[in-house]
Amino acid sequence: MRRAVCPGSFDPITYGHLDIIERASKLYDVVHVAVLVNKNKQGLFSIDERISMIEETTAGYGNVQVESHQGLLVDYCRERSIPAIVKGLRAVSDFDYELQMAQMNHGLTGVETLFLPTSPTWSFLSSTLVKEVASYGGDVSHLIPPTVHTRLVERIAERAAR
């Protein structure tokens, strides 16, 4: 079985993430989507909510497994014998930090990182921008799946009502 992992925060999943996960799912037998827990960052969605949104939106690919992980990505890979990390590159600005992480991870355990160029349709897209635009009432319905959009609008309304 050829395995790879697509790691990230996925707060929430966007069409940019799905572009990379779908393409990885055609290259590997099993694609693990790992939601990395960042203790220092309070997300808009809980880890369980993020997982359920990813499961809903990747179910059609047929070979995607979703779970969370607290700690180093290299440990997640080692524990599951995953030899490859697949990351999307949106623009040259992503490259510096992604290269650093890829080299660090390779130096730690030998795990490889493969970069896929993000579809130009989504090259400007990030979860952070989606949340910011939506929080000011902007339309982001073309950037995230409908079920994710419904939850995002609900969550922003809940926060605003506090």
By the criterion CB under 6 A, which residues form the site for ligand PNS? Answer: 7-9, 36, 72-73, 101, 104-105
How far from each other are the two terminal CA atoms of the chain, in whole angstroms? 48
Least distance in angstroms from the C-beta of 162 to ligand PNS = 25
- Residue at token pair 């180093």: 72
CB of 48 to ligand PNS, least distance (A): 17
Which residues are known catalytic residues? 17, 41, 90, 127
**What is the helix (H) or strand (E) element at residue 162, kind and residue range?**
none
Q: Which is nearer to ligand PNS, 8 or 25 (CB)?
A: 8
Three-class SS state of 131: helix
145 with 22: CB under 8 angstroms? Answer: no
- Residue 107 C-beta: closest distance to ligand PNS, Å: 9
- Measured between alpha carbons, how far is 159 from 162 in angstroms, rounded to an integer? 5
Helix (H) or strand (E) holding 36: strand 30-37
Q: Which is nearer to ligand PNS, 54 or 62 (CB)?
A: 54
Q: Tell me whether residue 5 or residue 134 sits nearer to ligand PNS (CB atom).
A: 5
